[in-house]
Structure 1
Amino acid sequence: MNSPDMSRLLAQAAQKLAAGGLVAFPTETVYGLGGDAENPEAIAAIYAAKGRPANHPVIVHVAPEADLTYWAASIPAEARALIQAFWPGPLTLILPRASHIPAAVSGGQSSVGLRCPSHPVAQTLLREFARLKPSGQGGVAAPSANKFGQVSPTQAAHVRAEFPELGEDRLMVLEGGPSNVGIESTIVDVSRLDDGIGPVLLRPGHITAEQLADVLGKPPARPDATAPRVSGSLKAHYAPHTPLRLVTRAQVLAMARGELMPSRAENRRVVALVFEAPPDASASYIDWRVCSCDPALFARDLYAVLRALDAQDYNCIYIEQPPGTEAWRAVNDRIGRAAAAFG
């Protein structure tokens, strides 16, 4: 991180952002596809590269010492309490957008999503970029560095594989090792408190509803009909190219006995991600992969596993449904949306 080569690359990346270019960079959650959050042309380039609908907002990443009043019209006490507890870290706050911040980052909405990542490469990049801005407040708009609706990247190699058409001249990719959280940030809406609405948990993540409640003094509300649009809120999202299905433990055992799956003669080749290998695996055309029973470890490895399986020409990926507990809520959200992409 502190090597002369990395310092040089980070300075170059900040200059590229300042010139309106795109930089993919590591965070603790996933790798982001970044552009200057105050440059509508840079934001448009992000949307074009991803194939992202223009009304689907992106998250603005800021350094730990950023002046949040530059980005948000107001910062309620609840937001400040969450910032004190969880920033830097995998928490995005939806706040009223300051009038001079381009509406493009919010998909045309009056709110803005702000996050302060904890990854050291991301923090250094954000600080270097802020030094180049006349205001001293450099924010980087950065959705996940993948094509819209696909599996998010947790390694630099994933990003390069996702955007081969861009090349290093149009997209600079910073190395930062594997993301240690592995799924996107928790999103909490605190933009409507003056109307008596919220805080609202819009997307579950590594920071759980129980942890939020400990800080807020009450559980966050569920999304409502008037909630702002946020990243990752579509029914079908985070999907691999290979069809993905969720199965119960009973179905796993039936699969192992060959009762739910077509025979090898039908040229089926599938993989099943399970929490415990079935005792009877007579359906030998199924590749059994045992997953961690720890929700944090499962989440950390999920996207990298899905990308690896995508490259192995399986007909289908089966995932054993995790427990329905709060600890597994974020994982269930991601794999549920991934499965929804295939009906």
Structure 2
Amino acid sequence: MPDQPKQPGGTASRDSGHAPAHGQIDAAQIDHAAALLDAGELVAFPTETVYGLGGDAQSPEAVARIYAAKGRPANHPVIVHLAPHGDPRYWVEQWSADAQRLIDAFWPGPLTLILKRAAHIPPAVSGGQDSVGLRCPSHPVAQALLDAFSARRGGHGGVAAPSANRFGHVSPTTAQHVRDEFGSAIHVLDGGASTVGIESTILDLSRGFPALLRPGHVTPQDIADVLGAMPRLPDGSDATAPRASGTLKAHYAPRTPLALLPFDALEPLLAAARAANERVALVARASRAGHWADADGVHFIAAPEDPHAYARDLYGLLRALDRANVARILIEKLPDTIAWIAVNDRLGRAAAAFEASESE
């Protein structure tokens, strides 16, 4: 039998997005939220990546409530979140040495592993597929909730939790973002702002080789350092890959139209907006923005130069720009490098939502 996953303090602590102390959340609030989950209700809770909309992963009815609340297609799988002392082997058909190595390195933290689903786990959580996505978050509020819920289920409780927002829209990184989406309809545990800011890396191990399905804070090089080989990267040619959260072409989109282009291609759009007396937002590196940073009618945001800082701020920025009274959001395309792969992925999918609507 494989070893149990390492607890906090392993190599995951090198940069896994551990959250600060959870403020005013006390044991009674955690117990109340666990009781709601136990009764089949939904609870929004913080993780180091984004806030999740949680339900009992082994209850098809609770999972259906998640899909209904989000407006999410029922064939789009959700990730099962496990307590630090949970046993991921309970959820899978067969364990692997690669899975154990990655768990030892990155759990708790922002890495989701896709493995073959055990027969006793309802297929609803996997969108009907024979695989399942598993993750152990590092946020202390998430861990407390998962521990409390798992205890109610004999140590085998898991919480299915996609991002706590309407399907396809910008993910939430604060409790207020969740309330902005759902009002008082969803019980929310407020654990402060997420420190990673974008969803977990998703790595498929269900087919006998590692394949990156969604980039995130844990990079392909991080994975290669553990496994000794670079995972297959997403290039659109992996026809046998399982469906995974957040991998649709159009996703993570604000409500304001968004264009993602090299800065040289943004300048004609900025000039056209000025000629039309149209107010637009510009998100670009300060070194490229030039006179546009101070131009009339341009709401300029200096883009972070560091990919982790950009990721942490991204969703909050997009939500703020939705409130900024601009006709369009213009974003400078980022370097096409492995370091920027996760932010490029989120921005590309956000822009694709509007490319699709413009071509219809």
* TM-score bucket (shorter structure): over 0.9
Match of 2:18 in 1: none
Given the alignment, which residue of 275, 285, 288 partners 1:275? 285
Q: Output the CA distance in 2 between the equivalents of 1:140 and 1:325.
A: 34
Match of 1:152 in 2: 171
Correspondence 1:53-72 to 2 at 5 A:
53-72=73-92
Cα deviation for residue 291 of structure 1 reads 1.5
- Structure 1 residues 271-301: Cα deviation after superposition (integer angstroms, max 9, x where no partner): 0001116332374211211121000000000
Match of 1:233 in 2: 247
Structure 2: stretches of 5+ with no match in the other structure: 1-20, 356-360
User: What percent of counterpart residues are identical?
Assistant: 59
Cα deviation for residue 247 of structure 1 reads 2.2
Q: Which amino acid aligns with 1:247?
A: L
Correspondence 1:1-343 to 2 at 5 A:
6-133=26-153, 135-164=154-183, 167=184, 170-193=185-208, 198-223=209-234, 224-253=238-267, 258=271, 261-263=272-274, 266-276=276-286, 278-281=289-292, 283-343=295-355
Shift in CA distance, 2/319, structure 1 to aligned 2, threshold 3 Å: closer
- Structure 1 residues 139-181: Cα deviation after superposition (integer angstroms, max 9, x where no partner): 00000000000000000000011012xx2xx521000111000
Secondary structure at the counterpart of residue 354 of structure 2: coil
Cα deviation for residue 4 of structure 1 reads 7.9
Secondary structure at the counterpart of residue 98 of structure 1: coil
Q: Output the CA distance in 2 between the equivalents of 1:119 and 1:136.
A: 19
- Structure 1 residues 158-207: Cα deviation after superposition (integer angstroms, max 9, x where no partner): 0011012xx2xx521000111000000000001111xxxx2111110000
Structure 1: stretches of 5+ with no match in the other structure: none
Cα deviation for residue 73 of structure 1 reads 1.1
Cα deviation for residue 251 of structure 1 reads 3.1
Q: Output the CA distance in 2 between the equivalents of 1:327 and 1:16.
A: 40
Contact kept in structure 1, 2:22 and 2:140, CA below 8 Å: no
- Structure 1 residues 17-71: Cα deviation after superposition (integer angstroms, max 9, x where no partner): 0000000000000000000001111000000000000000000000111111211
Cα deviation for residue 263 of structure 1 reads 3.1
Q: Output the CA distance in 2 between the equivalents of 1:216 and 1:3.
A: 37
Contact kept in structure 2, 1:247 and 1:320, CA below 8 Å: yes
TM-score, normalization by structure 1: 0.93
Q: Which amino acid aligns with 1:129?
A: F
Q: Which amino acid aligns with 2:190?
A: E
Contact kept in structure 1, 2:111 and 2:218, CA below 8 Å: yes
Aligned length: 330
Contact kept in structure 2, 1:270 and 1:286, CA below 8 Å: yes
Contact kept in structure 1, 2:223 and 2:230, CA below 8 Å: yes
- Structure 1 residues 209-257: Cα deviation after superposition (integer angstroms, max 9, x where no partner): 011011111000134101100001100000000000012122345566x
Q: Output the CA distance in 2 between the equivalents of 1:143 and 1:222.
A: 23
TM-score, normalization by structure 2: 0.89
Shift in CA distance, 236/2, structure 1 to aligned 2, threshold 3 Å: closer
Q: Which amino acid aligns with 1:303?
A: Y
Shift in CA distance, 84/210, structure 1 to aligned 2, threshold 3 Å: same
**What is the CA RMSD across the aligned residues, in angstroms?**
1.5
